[in-house]
Amino acid sequence: MPTPIATAVPVTHAGILGLGVYRPRRVVPNAEIVDAIESSDEWIKTRSGIAARHWAEPDETIVSMSVAAARDALTASGVSADQIDAVVLATSSQMVLGPSAGAVVATELGMHDTAAFDISAGCAGFCYALADAANLVRSGQARQVLVIGVERLSDLLDTTDRGCAFIFADGAGAVVVGPAEQEGIGPVAWGSDGARTSAIKQDKDFLEYFAEVAAAEASGGTSQRPYIRMNGTEVFRWAVTFLEKACRDALDHAGLTADDLDAFVPHQANIRITDALVRTLGLPDTVAVARDIIETGNTSAASIPMAMEQLVRSGAANPGDTALLLGFGAGLAYAGQVVHLPPIA
């Protein structure tokens, strides 16, 4: 018979122990970008709900923003950096292929020999990472896991693109996931549709770009760097027709209904999508709904933790409240789960 393999001791429940965020210093109101896209403040607010967004300064990097958010999450959770067994970082705007941002962040936080890796799942990335972290804790593979969602999407913006320039923004959010006396992170409802990659994508890969640069240098011409592009109409239609099922699946997995919720924290993609989901799900008026997009914009993988923090900081929701999270975007991918909201620093 084969020799038995020892297994880690499983933990029954996992929860979010603490939350921290980092919002870049520079606030960019609509008035600052409307001329370049031949638009208006009223048009942007009507189309998206956005009044302002944060764009990172040169010293506010993927790593530095992640470290700042992580430190606050550790403080809120009462967990020290040397108690973290793994770092799971979600981003779509890290401009190098390696090393992983997660590994660098772990070292910056003073961690040693800590497992760390990145996840690329677009705007669903944080919820993907949260599901992975919860499963690591429940399986006994890790005691505490640091989960980070972070973006510098301003690096990928064509500031003259009427479809994207007013939407995307920068920031970071982090949570500590660890053992809990009762379940604090419900089973994930997730999926993807690679047939819809054209809806949100980088308009050229870097091999194409390098070839264009070489050709331009040889001919004395010019080349255009890669940018993020989005078909807003396609994304909106997919979101308002498909995501009701994703929300209801997450609620079903947790054994709850919309009436059991205290808060709803969807990805901050567009306030019209949020409002449509609230109506479709029939959420009671007592449910606090995250609308952080108004002052923060669409920060992709950082969106949900930043929106959770805004709800708690404003007093609209409280630590321990039952909240439905839903991330969705590039892929097209989605992921959602019911959680108990954590304390903030």
Catalytic annotation, pick one of 54, 247, 267, 340: 267
The answer to whether 49 and 293 have CB atoms below 8 angstroms apart is yes
Catalytic residue among 123, 127, 164, 247: 123
Is 298 one of the annotated active-site residues of the chain?
A: yes
SS3 59: coil
DSSP secondary structure code for residue 54 in this structure: E
Structure tokens at 191: 């999926």
**Distance (Å, rounded) from C-alpha 271 to C-alpha 55?**
20
| Cβ-based burial of 196 (10 A; exposed 0-12, middle 13-18, buried ≥19) | middle
Q: What are the residues whose beta carbons fall under 8 Å from the beta carbon of 298, sequence distance 6 or more?
A: 50, 53, 123, 153, 167, 168, 169, 267, 268, 269, 270
Q: Compute the 3-state secondary structure of the chain and give helix, strand, coil in percent, each to the nearest 5.
A: 40, 25, 35
Is 123 marked active-site?
Answer: yes
Instruction: Round to whole Å and give the CA distance between 17 and 73.
Output: 8
From 164, 247, 298, 340, the catalytic residue: 298
Q: Which tokens belong to 23?
A: 């919002």
Provide the residue type at 322 as one letter.
T
Q: Which residue has the tokens 């770009």?
A: 209
| Whether the Cβ atoms of residue 179 and residue 9 lie closer than 8 Å to each other | no
Query: Are 314 and 47 within 8 A, CB to CB?
Result: no
* DSSP-assigned letter for residue 218: H
DSSP H or E segment with residue 292: none
Kindly list the catalytic residues: 123, 267, 298
